[in-house]
């Protein structure tokens, strides 16, 4: 297992290195270098040269790339062009909200999706199966911003059951520990804060969960249908095992393999969906920041965002790979 | 009283009949063979006894897919390994349409076919156990084999933790797997085919069942391993006094292992006799054909084998006469005049022409 982990870690660093190269190339390819932004239009060529030299832009490309890498490693993405604050600080302020939202959405998708998919497979051809399958089709079809807006209108504005926006009610006092408000409330014992944060989380999390939920239902259903026909499930049955044992140890353990892969991929794509959901519910996560950065061509901010997302993606993939090794002993053996 | 008494067992999948009135008995401590080519209903019979056939949804039964029946396989000899065995229904197709099982399968006087599912689950693995054909696909790939053995011990013998592991190691030792303590932690893909089949046997005998059903236990194995596995089965049956229902298409296996034989054709028993009697005086033309298609060492190497021509029909039709008639060399008028009955007691056959042939 250690060998397997090390191997995966090495692959991961190669992937990140590749990404840094891409980003560097992107920056080099951007029209009009930084000297045009920093110098007045009537600056002389001499002045331009001097500035380029002082910025290190006349160094060989590989030296520039080395410096670029060094800055990334130190989490120095430069300052945001719109706010003037360091990009790293901006991201650190907003990331916890996005993480909290994504985790909540994933919790819903996994917690509802896997049991529902299992039931749909077991009751294949019944109304439950039909509802689950057509419901999941609907879930993948509805654009996330539309669903988010509809949820907000119906449950928050019309019925008034849940808050319409933000992460906490106005004027709420809370202690920041991890930045995940529900978790913080539980840690510090401020249960009213945790509850308040949870209420604010419900609608955006449901909106964000719609696509992963639908995908997980379908994958689980297909995977379970595949596995229940396997000979080893019949063997388990021939042993006279209790249905719960057969379900857990023999059916789900095998059915989880494709589901785990999908969950990993979905987690990555959740961040994209979070951008839309957050803007509908003014959730104050990374979403609105990126939206602003894109419209204002705030390149350092975008670069920081891309890198952070890439690291997340790669780390999630690592976790999925490792869980695969945990779930499937055949992956563990060295080739 | 016989340990297992199967009476007029009928299994249908929608419109397709797989087993059409099979009756036979297995006495305590005896080895009984169920012989026939693919599609004759022998596997379905065993699954019906074990209660492992897919249940039809009561009330709202959907139309089942017709039973897929594989082409006839050469019986006995070296060719058989090359022919993939297909157990109809029990495979992936079983999500659709359930089986309709009728008749009686009395185990120790209790009809297994009418037993409640939970009561049947308590019997399965404890009183009657089954060994399957393909040892790789029959073991869970993601669970260590030790766990796959201890779960039976836990369920039926109440053994847990170290006690269960110890007993599992004993069982592996019993079925001839060296270094059992280490093997317990391994996964099926780390074992050889023969070892996997030994593991399946260990699982089956874990609770000292009174009846063991072996469904082609050697089909997926090399010839040398086959002999070892058969030897092991024989040894286990002899020492524990377990009754064994041996399902096979290999008459060599029958000759070496069984006390009694039932030859199945197209969902019915066509001949049943003690093993020596059957080999000495095969009566039904199908049995004669099966014996004729085995390669023999005492014949010259240029002597051709005598295959049974044609292949088993995919529709069972005994009503209008003998189902074997289209493939039979000795077919005559009376053969297609009506349903042939099973006649005789110790050595029974289902051939109206038997007297003339003899």
- Same structural domain for residues B92 and B213? yes
Among the candidates B187, B208, B229, a domain finishes at B208
CB contacts of A254 in chain B (<8 Å) are 140-142
Q: How long is chain A?
A: 335
Q: Residue B312 in contact with residue B40, Cβ under 8 Å?
A: yes
Among A259, A253, A234, which Cα is nearest to A328's?
A253
**Strand order across the beta sheet in which B31-35 lies:** B128-131, B211-215, B243-248, B31-35, B260-265, B268-274, B348-349
Longest dimension (CA), chain A: 88
- A93 to chain B, any CB pair closer than 8 A? The answer is no
Q: What is the dihedral of CA B94, B98, B104, B108, to 10 degrees?
A: 50
Say how many CA atoms lie within 13 Å of B345 toward its Cβ. Answer: 0
- Same structural domain for residues B333 and B187? no
Among the candidates B188, B208, B228, a domain finishes at B208
Among B339, B336, B335, which Cα is nearest to B354's?
B335
Residues within 8 A of A (CB atoms), B 79-118 only = 90-95
CB contacts of A245 in chain B (<8 Å) are 151, 155
- Same structural domain for residues B11 and B118? yes
pTM: 0.79
Contact B142 A328 (CB under 8 A): yes
pLDDT at B56: 58
Among the candidates B193, B208, B223, a domain finishes at B208
pLDDT at B168: 93
Contact A241 B125 (CB under 8 A): yes
- Same structural domain for residues B189 and B320? no
Contact A329 B132 (CB under 8 A): no
Mutate to test the interface with B, among A126, A127, A231, A327 (most CBs of B within 10 A): A231
pLDDT digits (tens, 9 = 90+) for A120-160: 998 888 899 999 999 888 888 888 888 888 888 888 888 88
Mutate to test the interface with A, among B141, B152, B200, B212 (most CBs of A within 10 A): B141
Burial of A82 from C-beta contacts in 10 A (0-12 / 13-18 / 19+):
middle
B207 Cβ contact list (under 8 Å, min separation 6): B125, B126, B129, B152, B153, B156, B157
Contact B95 A229 (CB under 8 A): yes
Please state the domain count of chain B. Answer: 2
pLDDT at A320: 82
- Same structural domain for residues B84 and B199? no
pLDDT at B203 over 90: yes
Mutate to test the interface with A, among B140, B160, B186, B212 (most CBs of A within 10 A): B140
- Same structural domain for residues B71 and B21? yes
- Same structural domain for residues B291 and B151? no
Q: ipTM score of the complex?
A: 0.81
Which CATH number fits the domain that encloses residue B295?
3.40.50.300
- Same structural domain for residues B250 and B342? yes
| CATH match of A94-332 with 3.40.50.1110 | no
Could you tell me where in chain A the CATH 1.10.3720.10 domains are found? Answer: 94-332
- Same structural domain for residues B239 and B351? yes
DSSP 8-state class, residue B3: S
Residues within 8 A of B (CB atoms), A 190-219 only = none
Q: Give the pLDDT band of residue B75 (cuts 50, 70, 90).
A: very low
CB contacts of A329 in chain B (<8 Å) are 141-142, 144, 187, 189
DSSP character string of B164-203: HHHHHHHHHHHTT-SSHHHHTTS-GGGS-HHHHHHHHHHH
Q: Kindly report the nearest CA distance between residue B4 and chain A, in angstroms.
A: 17
- Same structural domain for residues B260 and B122? yes
Range of the domain at B228: 4-127+209-357
Q: Kindly report the nearest CA distance between residue A269 and chain B, in angstroms.
A: 29
- Same structural domain for residues B71 and B135? no
Q: Kindly report the nearest CA distance between residue B106 and chain A, in angstroms.
A: 18
pLDDT digits (tens, 9 = 90+) for B305-341: 778 887 777 666 787 788 888 888 888 888 888 888 8
A57 Cβ contact list (under 8 Å, min separation 6): A33, A34, A35, A64
Say how many CA atoms lie within 13 Å of B263 toward its Cβ. Answer: 30
- Same structural domain for residues B38 and B25? yes
């Amino acid at each position: 297992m250690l060998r397997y982990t090390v191997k995966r870690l090495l692959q991961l660093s190669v992937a990140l290195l590749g990404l840094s190269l891409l980003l560097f190339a992107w920056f080099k390819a951007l029209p009009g270098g930084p000297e045009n932004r920093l110098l007045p239009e009537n600056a002389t060529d001499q002045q331009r040269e001097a500035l380029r030299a002082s910025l290190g832009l006349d160094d060989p490309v590989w030296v520039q790339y080395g410096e670029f890498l060094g800055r990334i490693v130190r989490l120095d993405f430069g300052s945001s062009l719109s706010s003037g604050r360091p990009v790293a600080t901006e991201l650190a302020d907003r990331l916890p909200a996005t993480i909290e939202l994504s985790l909540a959405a994933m919790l819903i998708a996994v917690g509802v999706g896997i049991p529902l998919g299992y039931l749909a497979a077991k009751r294949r051809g019944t109304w439950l199966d039909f509802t689950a399958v057509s419901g999941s089709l609907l879930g993948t079809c509805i654009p996330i911003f539309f669903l988010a807006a509809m949820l907000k209108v119906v449950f928050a504005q019309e019925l008034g059951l849940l808050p319409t926006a933000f992460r906490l009610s106005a004027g709420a006092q809370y202690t920041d520990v991890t930045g995940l408000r529900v978790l913080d409330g539980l840690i510090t014992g401020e249960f009213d804060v945790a509850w308040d944060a949870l209420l604010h989380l419900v609608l955006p999390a449901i909106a964000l969960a719609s696509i992963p939920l639908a995908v997980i239902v379908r994958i689980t259903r297909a995977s379970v249908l595949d596995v229940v026909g396997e000979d080893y499930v019949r063997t388990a049955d021939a042993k006279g095992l209790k249905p719960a044992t057969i379900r857990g140890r023999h059916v789900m353990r095998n059915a989880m393999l494709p589901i785990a892969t999908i969950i990993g991929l979905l987690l990555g794509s959740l961040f994209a969906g979070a951008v839309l959901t957050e803007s509908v519910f003014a959730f104050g996560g990374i979403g609105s920041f990126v939206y602003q950065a894109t419209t204002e061509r705030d390149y350092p901010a975008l670069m920081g965002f891309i890198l952070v997302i890439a690291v997340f993606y790669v780390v999630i993939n690592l976790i999925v790979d490792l869980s695969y090794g945990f779930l499937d002993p055949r992956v563990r053996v060295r080739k | 009283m016989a340990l297992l008494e199967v009476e007029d067992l009928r299994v249908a999948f929608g419109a397709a009949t797989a087993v059409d009135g099979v009756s036979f008995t297995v006495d305590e401590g005896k080895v009984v063979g169920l012989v026939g080519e693919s599609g004759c209903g022998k596997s379905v019979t065993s699954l019906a006894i074990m209660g492992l056939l897919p249940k039809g949804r009561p009330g709202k039964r959907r139309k089942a897919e017709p039973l897929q029946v594989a082409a006839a396989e050469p019986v006995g000899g070296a060719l058989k390994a090359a022919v993939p065995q297909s157990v109809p229904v029990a495979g992936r197709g079983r999500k659709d349409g359930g089986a309709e099982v009728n008749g009686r399968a009395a185990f120790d006087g209790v009809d297994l076919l009418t037993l409640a599912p939970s009561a049947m689950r308590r019997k399965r693995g404890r009183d009657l156990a089954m060994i399957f054909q393909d040892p790789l696909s029959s073991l869970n790939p993601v669970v260590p084999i030790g766990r796959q053995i201890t779960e039976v011990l836990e369920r039926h013998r109440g053994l847990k933790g170290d006690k269960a592991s110890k007993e599992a190691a004993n069982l592996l030792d019993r079925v001839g797997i060296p270094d059992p303590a280490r093997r317990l932690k391994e996964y099926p893909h780390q074992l050889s085919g023969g070892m996997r089949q030994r593991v399946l046997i260990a699982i089956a005998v874990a609770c000292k069942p009174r009846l063991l059903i072996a469904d082609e236990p050697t089909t997926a194995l090399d010839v040398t391993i086959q002999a070892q596995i058969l030897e092991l089965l024989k040894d286990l049956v002899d020492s524990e006094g377990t009754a064994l229902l041996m399902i096979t298409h290999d008459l060599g296996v029958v000759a070496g292992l069984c006390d009694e034989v039932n030859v199945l054709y197209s969902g019915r028993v066509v001949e049943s006799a003690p093993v020596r009697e059957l080999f000495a005086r095969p009566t039904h033309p199908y049995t004669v054909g099966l014996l004729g298609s085995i390669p023999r060492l005492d014949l010259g190497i240029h002597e051709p084998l005598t295959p049974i021509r044609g292949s088993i029909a995919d529709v069972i039709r005994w009503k209008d006469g003998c189902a074997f008639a289209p493939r039979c060399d000795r077919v005559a008028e009376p053969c297609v005049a009506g349903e042939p009955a099973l006649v005789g007691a110790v050595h029974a056959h289902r051939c109206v022409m038997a007297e003339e042939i003899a």
